[in-house]
Amino acid sequence: MSAFVGKYADELIKTAKYIATPGKGILAADESTGTIGKRLSSINVENTEPNRQALRELLFTAPGALTSLSGVILFEETLYQKTASGKPFVDVLNEAGVIPGIKVDKGTVELAGTNGETTTQGFDSLGARCAQYYKAGARFAKWRAVLKIGVVEPTELAIQQNAQGLARYAITCQENGLVPIVEPEVLTDGNHGIEKCADVTERVLAAVYKALNDHHVLLEGTLLKPNMVTPGSDSPKVAPEVIAEYTVIALRRTVPAAVPGIVFLSGGQSEEEATLNLNAMNKLEVLKPWTLTFSFGRALQQSTLKTWGGKVDNIGKAQEVFLTRCKANSDATLGKYAGGGAGGLASESLFVKGYKY
């Protein structure tokens, strides 16, 4: 099916290719007000706008860290925030060669008649919001669809509804100048084996790319944000090399070579696990027509958050921790991470059952 080539086509292709630069990745700092509140409460910090701003400023101004990043996904509030000295965050990022992005979905709602399966909402005024975000400096967007593995899940209804939703979102973004990050997340919740996760991931991705083509989405101006193929959260863990092999096979079978980059979500893995798995994928000596990189939220921020603890005196140390994680993942995109950029905090599990943003 012919792709839609609108007035932004060249810019979309250029932006997507830049974000997928080997050695760089995405910081997902798009937690909703409620979700960031949970993170702040874990370090006994009140969920206020000044505290949310302070955390984001700590990340965006960490010396040396932004050289490992090509993009940062923002929440709407953050898109319009400034540093304490009055400089817009968008300008801070752009000057460091980091492209600002924006979360545009409005969370999930249950699909009636299913066993807790969901679809994603946020289509109301989506085009107008995308145009507004472009004007504010955003150049890419994110929309998260969620699927779960169960006895009969994901159902065909859930797969098709989420695939169609992602495609509709993607073409709306492209019409308004934003590169869509397509995120069909298969949750790790459950006691299934890695083979089951591989099967479901392949079926979901096949449906997503069929829908994207049906909606005339310009694949060269998109990015994919999938889960890694892993055993369920209640199953025994496997080696990074096993996860790498299953994940890359699933992607090779389903993701067209026209897509410039695949930016993995961390999905509740510990910081170190996510980095080691990404590194193992990039060490695989098979044809990979797309860049394999990261779009991590918790797996880039958790140890930084705990080191900061809401205290001004800890900002420098917290920024050093953040730099360590950024460098580790940058190395992993090149298959050059040697391990050990961890420390105790980086090895802690970040799994949350039925995780919601």
Catalytic residues: 183, 225
For the stretch 41-50, contacts whose Cβ atoms lie closer than 8 Å and that sit 24 or more positions apart, written own/partner, are 42/305, 42/306, 43/305, 43/306, 43/308, 43/309, 43/310, 44/309, 44/310, 45/309, 45/310, 49/77
Sorted by sequence, the CB contacts under 8 Å of residue 250 that are 6+ apart come out as 198, 201, 202, 205, 229
Render 124-140 in DSSP notation, one character per residue: TTHHHHHHHHHHTT--E
Report d(CA 274, CA 325) in Å as an integer.
Answer: 11
3-state SS assignment for residue 192: coil
Tokens 């880039």 belong to 300
3-state SS assignment for residue 100: strand
Encoding tokens for residue 290?
Answer: 């797309």
Which has the closest alpha carbon to 28: 144, 178, 119, 120?
144
Encoding tokens for residue 333?
Answer: 């995109």
